[in-house]
Structure 1
Amino acid sequence: MKALDQRVRAEISKFKGHVSLFAKNLDTGASYGFGADDRVRTASTIKVPIMVEVFARVAEGKAKWDDELVLTEAKKVSGSGILLELSDGLRLTLRDAVRLMIILSDNTATNLILDQITTDAVNDRMDQLGLKQTRVLRKVGGGGESRAGMIPENKRFGLGVSTPREMVALLEKLERGEVVNTEASREMLAIMKRQQYRDGIPRALRGVEVANKTGALDRLRSDVGIVYTPRGRIAMAITCDDMPEIIWSVDNPGLLLISRLASLLVDGLSK
């Protein structure tokens, strides 16, 4: 682990910004952290906990996959996704909204879901899972503020807050079938495997399956996911924040660093 630590620190030392990460081989238990318990801005990685709450509600009979959500101009928000471009009055199912939220990171779909389930319900579910630091604070763009979002010290985190260690814990619970039930956990990971932003963790990993969810803000890039290697399932959460330049391209320094760190973590934690 000393060699891995040296290689990770060497990469981070060249980066202009703040880096926090945690990774674990789910087969061997070997793990590595650098700022693993830092409270970090989640950006869109908080959409994984939101998805968890939807699956739990459906399993409990509190919601149905064919529940109808209606798109209106007032509910459209900017940023990632496709619903912003679609017609007022469009009707979509709860299942479709969840898939859009993860696969395209659709911000409008996320808000439509939160209007149905509430931010506080997501956080209560995280409590049940033992994840005390993982919180959705408000809807994308504002509104729907949770109890946690009203705490002054949380305002700086924006949409959500978590730690790399807790995000990996959630991924591990999903992989072990402990979130809602085995079937629901498997389906959530299958959706994550189809998400279309592949410039972070999966970028340089060839021939391996990856289930992940990305996040992006002006000065932040983050990625949480599981890399399914022949030498073990490596779960990781990496956040690169406080970057001095705003660069909205696939060659953002944060994305490039996440890619390099992912390769190091896979190599260093493999059996």
Structure 2
Amino acid sequence: MDKPTQRITDLIAASGVDVGFAAIKVETGQQIAVNGATLFPTASTFKVPVMVEIYAQARQGKFKISDRIAFQEPHRVIGSGVIQALGVGLNPTIRDLMMLMIIVSDNTATDILCDLVGSANVTARMRALGLQDIHTPAACHGLFRRAWSMPLEGPVGYADYKAASKAAPMPFTSGAYSRDSSNNTASAIDMAQLMVLIQQAKAGTAEDCADMIAIMEYQHYQTRVPRFLPAGSVANKTGSLRGLRNDAGLIRRAPGDTIAFAMFTFDDTDLPHGNSRQLVEANARIETLMGEVGQILWDDFAC
């Protein structure tokens, strides 16, 4: 086992956290993996496959990236993002919605876009790209329905989701934590490979892949794998649910020197509901672990 692989393996083992990790040197194919083939819930990292499918359907002529979609009340989704706090009638472009979906993980923008392209088509796109272990059966509404055992069909209102989220934490036994194709799941190897395909302009046209990277470069959440890396060196997408802290993206050390990575973490510590201090401290421990892995990749991997 080479030095960076050993250091990362030791860090993960010492953390006590369930981790799936993979890194690929884009230019050579050299890999590091720890539990890399194990399926993990993706949380919001599934939004990168959604972005890939949006560009593909736009190239098929189904719509234009510059087309606008008016925000309506049924679009409103709890969780991360800003659109849920705005009034109806907002009229963003599809690219604007993608930007919000990726850089602030806007759940409302995500579900508008999933309604546009179809979640099943996102999974089919991953298969067409040769990625067998990325599954995207649900948009955010579907994940929340699974989390609180709500009906998978029929109307569930924004207020209902808000009430459920305040009443109790997501049970780790719920469908939102399933590790199979019935839930939004991926292996770290396949998610890292998707990043390789984007960097190599094989997940779409060269123009579209460049725009995907440009969007990820605006990522607001840089406290995980990029935590200790130079500003502007990482294009990434994070994902979070109770107990899940994920990150996937591209580390660019120099022109022609790029590392694709995915790191999925699950910590089933049963923190008291609403105890923000313990949650912040747990997040800090896991994000420091992720940052240390990022630092090892930067300093020692495939140099």
TM-score (norm 2): 0.81
Structure 1 range deviating more: 45-54 or 254-263? 254-263
Is 1:204 aligned to residue 228 of structure 2? yes
Give 1:153 deviation, angstroms: 8.6
| TM-aligned CA deviation for residue 61 of structure 1 | 0.7
Aligned match of 2:269 in 231, 244, 253? 244
Distance of aligned partners of 1:248 and 1:78 in 2 relative to their CA distance in 1, 3 Å threshold: farther
1:239: how far off? 0.8
Provide the residue aligned with 1:23 in structure 2. Answer: 23
**Structure 2 residue 264 is the aligned partner of structure 1 residue 232:** no
In structure 2, C-alpha distance between the alignment counterparts of 1:174 and 1:131, rounded to whole Å: 13
Deviations 1:47-81 (A, max 9, x none): 00000000111111111123232222322111111
- How many Å separate the matches in 1 of 2:11 and 2:32? 15
Shift in Å at residue 20 of structure 1? Answer: 0.8
Count the aligned residue pairs: 267
What is the percent sequence identity of the aligned residues? 31
The amino acid of 1:126's aligned partner reads M
Instruction: Indicate which of 180, 189, 202 corresponds to 2:204.
Output: 180
> How many angstroms apart in 2 are the aligned matches of 1:181 and 1:51?
13
5 Å-filtered alignment, 1:134-213, equals 134-142=134-142, 156-157=178-179, 160-206=184-230, 209-213=233-237
Distance 2:238 2:183 in 1: 14
The answer as to whether partners of 1:140 and 1:159 remain within 8 angstroms in 2 is no
Cα separation, partners in 2 of 1:82 and 1:208, compared to 1, 3 Å: closer
Q: Distance in 2 between matches of 1:32 and 1:136?
A: 25
Residue of structure 1 aligned with 2:297, choices 254, 265, 268: 265
The secondary structure found in structure 2 opposite 1:92 is coil
What SS class does the counterpart of residue 15 from structure 2 fall into?
Answer: coil
Superposition RMSD in Å: 2.5
Contact 1:23 1:235 in 2 (8 A): yes
The residue aligned with 1:220 is: 244
Please list the CA deviations of residues 194-230 of structure 1 after superposition, one character each: whole Å capped at 9, or x if unmatched: 1111111111012551110000111010100111013
2:178 is paired with a residue whose SS is: helix
In 1, the alpha carbon distance for the partners of 2:25 and 2:198 equals 14
Match of 1:255 among 264, 287, 290: 287
TM-score by length of 1: 0.90
Matches of 2:98 and 2:109, distance apart in 1: 7
Q: Deviations over 1:164-208 (max 9, x none)?
A: 110111111111111111111111011001111111111101255
Q: Report the Cα offset of residue 28 of structure 1.
A: 3.1
Q: For structure 1, which segment, 84-93 or 104-113, has the greater mean C-alpha deviation from structure 2 after superposition?
A: 84-93
Shift of 1:24: 1.2
> CA deviation digits over 1:99-137, x for unaligned, max 9?
110111100000001111110111111111011111112
Q: What is the identity, as a one-letter code, of the residue corresponding to 1:265?
A: L
- CA distance 1:82–1:93, shift in 2 (3 Å): same
1:120 alignment partner in structure 2? 120
Query: Cα gap change, 1:91/1:203 in structure 2, threshold over 3 Å: closer, same or farther?
Result: same
Distance in 1 (alpha carbons) for counterparts of 2:144 and 2:249:
27
Change beyond 3 A, Cα 1:261–1:143 = closer
Whether the 8 Å CA contact 1:30–1:269 is kept in 2: the answer is no
d(CA) in 1 for partners of 2:6, 2:197: 29
Q: Is the CA contact 1:39–1:163 (under 8 Å) kept in the aligned structure 2?
A: yes
- What is the alpha-carbon distance in structure 2 between the residues aligned to residue 195 and residue 179 of structure 1? 20
Runs of 4+ in 1 over 4 A off after TM superposition: 152-155, 245-248
AA of the residue aligned to 1:186: A
C-alpha distance in structure 2 between counterparts of 1:245 and 1:153, whole Å: 17
